[in-house]
Amino acid sequence: MKNQISSFLIYLKAEKNYAQDTTIKNYEIDLEQFANFLKANHLNYLKLTKEDIRSYLKYLDGLEYKNSSIARHLSALRSFYAYLVNNGVLKTNIFKTISSPKKEKKLPNFLQYSEFEDMLNVWDVTIPLEHRNRLIIETLYNTGARVSELVNIKLNDIDLNKHEIRVLGKGSKERIVYFGDYEEDILGSYLKASRPKLLKDKHNNYLFLNHLGNKLTDRGVRLIIDKTLDKASLKHKVSPHTLRHTFATHLLNEGADLKSVQELLGHASLSTTQIYTHVSNERLRSVYLSAHPRIKNKK
């Protein structure tokens, strides 16, 4: 089997043009682990049964592998056995009939409103760059925009009167996002006072600029968020996407319907938005446990 694995890895490198440092290395590790399991259990890799494969999956589960890791192992084995079939070593690929385990759904990380306010308050709006930083945090939370959408906002995308911003989302789909009175105030003052100073007499149509007067990048926004966390002394992990999660979670907690939140986020499928209901349900659960008299009085 080891010779076949070596040939398969060479094939991946030469024919499939896979990244040697990632996919090929992972496949090599996963296939060698499978080969060692077969050897330890006196199994022939050319005569496997479904029960043999179930035993291997139980073995991985016993090692406390996550479902995502087990799915990766199965992906490597499907590809390897497809290679054996294509080269006439086997007639059928038994791994085609084996379903991957469902990936664990991670609940999105989100901020409490007080933590969001702490992030805002570390920046001094009388200083142009800090004014911009505060506006970035305000805009991410007010609109639920992705960081890639945020950095591509142009001046003509903004309607101050209607409190609307046009953003270009995934798949080049346009949508309208909205902002409130707090954002109107800080955005208006940024456009009048701070942005012209950052622009440095250059011609640039983007809303958010760096210290050289050029368009701010995704990485620039992430660095600003990191710096904000440090100044606000917030210990847990926060990214620009955390503010998008916070936007959605707070809307649902305050009674917004799921379909509206889906449209505001620009999700193609409602099922993508539904993960936020888990967060909302956890809040309802905690409210129930703390408020219901038959729970409160229970010792």
What secondary structure does DSSP assign to 154-174, as a single string?
BGGGEETTTTEEEEE-GGG-E
Q: At 140, which amino acid appears?
A: L
pLDDT at 89: 93
Do 71 and 157 lie in a common domain? Answer: no
Do 164 and 263 lie in a common domain? Answer: yes
User: Is 293 a domain residue?
Assistant: no
Domain boundary among the residues 69, 97, 125 is at 97
Number of domains in the chain: 2
Domain span at residue 43? Answer: 2-97
pLDDT at 104: 60
Do 170 and 88 lie in a common domain? Answer: no
pLDDT at 299: 43
pLDDT at 100: 83
Do 119 and 232 lie in a common domain? Answer: yes
Spatial separation of the C-alpha atoms in residues 149 and 151, rounded to whole Å: 6
Rg (CA), the chain: 26
**CB contact at 8 A, 153 and 215:** no
pLDDT at 25: 84
pLDDT at 18: 62
Neighbouring residues of 163: CB distance < 8 A, sequence distance ≥ 6: 178, 179, 180, 183, 184
Exposed e or buried b per residue across 36-55, where buried means at least 16 C-beta atoms within 10 angstroms of its C-beta: eebeeeebebeebeeebbee
Spatial separation of the C-alpha atoms in residues 175 and 290, rounded to whole Å: 40
Do 200 and 257 lie in a common domain? Answer: yes
User: Is 77 a domain residue?
Assistant: yes
pLDDT at 16: 63
Do 56 and 202 lie in a common domain? Answer: no
Q: Chunk the chain into consecutive blocks of 10 residues (it has 299) and report each block's average pLDDT, rounded to whole numbers.
A: 89 70 82 94 94 93 87 92 93 90 72 93 96 97 94 96 92 90 95 95 94 95 95 89 92 87 89 74 68 59
Annotated catalytic sites, by residue? 146, 170, 241, 244, 267, 276
In the block, tokens 């664990």 appear at 104
Domain boundary among the residues 46, 67, 97 is at 97
